[in-house]
Amino acid sequence: MAGLRKKLTDTMIAGLKPGRTGERIEVRDELVSGLAVRISEKGKKTFVLVARFPGSANPTRRAIGEYPAISLATAREEARRWQLLIRRGIDPKDELERERAENARKRVNTFSMVVEDYLKDIPSRQRNRHADQDAAEIRRELLDAERNKWLNRPIVEITDAEIAQLIGAIRDRPAPGMAYNVWGHIKAIFSWAMWPERRQGYGLINNPTQHLQPKHFKLSKTVSTRVLTDDEIKAYWKAAEATPYPLGPFYKLLLLTGQRKAEVSDARWAEFDLNNRQIWTVPEERFKSGQSHLVPLSKDVLSLLTALERFENEESGDCLFSTTKGQKPINGFSRAKADLDKKMLEILKEADPAAKLPDWVFHDVRRTVRTRLSALRVNADVAEMVIGHGKKGLRRVYDQYEFEPEMREALEKWASALKTIVTPPQKNNVLTFPQASA
């Protein structure tokens, strides 16, 4: 093999001619040590690196690539990279295999695949009160190729700009509330994928949501102050009475206790002691703070519960409110809420044909109960504990008193006041009740 040492140039390489039959010519580069171009007897030109590779005592040649498919500049860059790997004791061949495997993994780990893994993990969480709703929103907004153009791209390629564009499109539908929710889902998905035991498998290095905030999308969480008026409470209760099981009793228990929608809708008979303590214990896995929550049962709640149908055959479950014989709790409230609104408006119009029903959500029922407890002069700490806003800070550690008698008294007061609202006394014996602002 004829060997020369020159400063390689593209012009020189292009002009190199093959040697005689059986002879290969090799020209080494003066700029990058070990880099050479080799010309076969048929004229094929190949960049090689001559070096002592890990595990070998003698210099050997490794092909970098053929010219002109690989340019001289690329060959020099790759030769320098190989030399750095050799100094670190890494065989460039092993590094190439690792990179190929990494690139293959990136192609497999698309955003949609990672999201499917995320959805499978949701049921295993200790606190997954909104798991069904979250999964439905994620599938509708993020796993629809018409809405998410980067659905099937490698997750490592997703940029913050693309995320912002998707959120902005939802906001401008217009659906700002859903845009806020979807932003939360995307942030949660990437945070979940970035956990040490997952990110290596997915090939993730950076979290594209790290520096994004709702303000970048001109979004903010809507803080509602809506409470139901006396007339609306009356209409709500009468509409509940006109609604059959399971929704009617569910609406009533929501208003009588002031608990969160999911805590009431997903309640199970095993959580209730109707005979001895007459108390409802919402278990920690279903409660927002991750601690169990006690709800003393007023006489009206006890009457409501004892009147409920119980499912007792072998195929039954113990959910209070169910359309599947207690096996699964009720869910999907959009249509039910629309029907409830319609009934409430009809009842309001019976008293005032010009009546209107401003928009409200089920959480407003909870806010209404809390507001009415203050109007009934219930101690603020007790009122907060009734709706499940527990003690905070050091008090949560050192004050273990459960305030059960005080909460029971507060809920009895509210049940009595509710009766007065629903069925007002005669005008000559009116019980005045402070009117909450809408």
Residues 246 and 362 in one domain: yes
The DSSP result for 81-145, as a single string, is HHHHHHHTT--HHHHHHHHHHHHHHHHH-BHHHHHHHHHHHGGGSS--TTHHHHHHHHHHHTS-T
Position 313 in a domain: yes
Residues 19 and 148 in one domain: no
Out of 217, 242, 258, a domain closes at 217
Position 104 in a domain: no
Position 37 in a domain: yes
Residues 276 and 322 in one domain: yes
Question: Which residues have CB under 8 Å from 337's CB, separation 6+?
Answer: 361, 362
304 SS3 class: helix
The rounded distance, in Å, linking the Cα atoms of 434 and 420 is: 12
What separation in angstroms does the CA of 86 have from each of 32, 54, 78, 89? 15, 7, 12, 5
Residues 153 and 64 in one domain: no
pTM of the complete model beyond 0.75: no
Position 287 in a domain: yes
Which of 153-162, 212-221, 226-235 comes out lowest in average pLDDT?
212-221
- Residue 37, Cβ density class (10 Å: 0-12 exposed, 13-18 middle, ≥19 buried): buried
Residues 357 and 248 in one domain: yes
Q: Look at residues 241, 268, 287, 226 and name the one whose alpha carbon lies nearest to residue 418.
A: 241
Per-residue model confidence (pLDDT) at position 288: 73
Higher local confidence (pLDDT), 219 or 295: 295
Mean pLDDT of 140-156: 93
Per-residue model confidence (pLDDT) at position 106: 60
Mean pLDDT of 366-372: 97
* Structure tokens that stand for 235 in this block: 């209409």
Position 21 in a domain: yes
Position 222 in a domain: no
Per-residue model confidence (pLDDT) at position 292: 87
Per-residue model confidence (pLDDT) at position 16: 87
What's the pLDDT band for 313 if we cut at 50, 70, 90? confident
Q: Look at residues 433, 436, 428 and name the one whose alpha carbon lies nearest to residue 417.
A: 433
Structural element, H or E, at residue 220 = none
Position 198 in a domain: yes
Residues 213 and 301 in one domain: no
Residues 207 and 343 in one domain: no
Out of 98, 121, 150, a domain closes at 98
The enclosing domain of 264 has a CATH number of: 1.10.443.10
**Domain interval for residue 143:** 111-217
Out of 67, 98, 129, a domain closes at 98
Residues 119 and 90 in one domain: no
DSSP conformation class of 428: G
Write the pLDDT tens digit of every residue in 74-112.
999 999 999 999 999 999 988 888 777 666 666 678 999
Residues 18 and 116 in one domain: no
Residues 403 and 280 in one domain: yes
Per-residue model confidence (pLDDT) at position 238: 98
Per-residue model confidence (pLDDT) at position 343: 97
Structural element, H or E, at residue 215 = none
The enclosing domain of 52 has a CATH number of: 3.30.160.390
Q: Look at residues 96, 75, 74 and name the one whose alpha carbon lies nearest to residue 85.
A: 96
Position 207 in a domain: yes
Specify the number of domains making up the chain: 3
Mean pLDDT of 66-73: 93
The enclosing domain of 122 has a CATH number of: 1.10.150
Cβ–Cβ under 8 Å, residues 408 and 301:
no
Residues 123 and 267 in one domain: no
432 pLDDT more than 60: no
Residues 83 and 137 in one domain: no
